[in-house]
């Protein structure tokens, strides 16, 4: 099979798959504008983020601080790679939305590095 499930006419993307990705992107955007986070998605992202700290810490204590962000961004990239391997164009696009939504959170987290106003897991502040 050719990359992204191409046939003679190009990539195969159904209208339903395209509409689903667009709706997913719009829902993420609306939640970000209204609340600043996407409840179900950001809860999963937080779990990936927090798991990354100790797992990367196994390899290097110095890099453990970056492990959260590494894992948080690695999961949508890994999922996109798997969809790409299987030729699911809409899956790759949805993972691109997921990655972009994650990058918005990373940007907020980085902007707070000096102020340290965001609550940490458990409601503690640094």
Closest CA to 22 of 13, 11, 12: 13
Q: Does the pLDDT of residue 12 top 80, yes or no? A: no
Range of the domain at 84: 38-114
- Residue 28: inside a domain, yes or no? no
pLDDT for residue 73:
97
**Cβ(125)–Cβ(115) below 8 Å:** no
Total domain count, the chain: 1
- Residue 97: inside a domain, yes or no? yes
pLDDT band at 123 (very low <50, low <70, confident <90, very high): low
- Residue 31: inside a domain, yes or no? no
pLDDT for residue 54:
95
């Amino acid at each position: 099979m050719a990359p992204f499930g191409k046939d003679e006419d190009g990539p195969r993307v159904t209208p339903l798959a395209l509409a689903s990705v667009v709706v997913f992107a719009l829902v993420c955007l609306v939640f970000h504008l209204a609340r600043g986070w996407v409840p179900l998605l950001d809860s999963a992202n937080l779990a990936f983020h927090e798991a990354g700290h100790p797992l990367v810490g196994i390899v290097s204590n110095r890099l453990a601080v970056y492990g959260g962000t590494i894992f948080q961004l690695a999961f949508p990239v890994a999922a996109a790679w798997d969809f790409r391997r299987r030729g699911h164009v809409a899956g790759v696009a949805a993972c691109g939305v997921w990655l972009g939504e994650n990058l918005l959170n990373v940007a907020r987290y980085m902007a707070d590095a000096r102020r340290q106003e965001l609550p940490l897991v458990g409601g503690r502040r640094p």
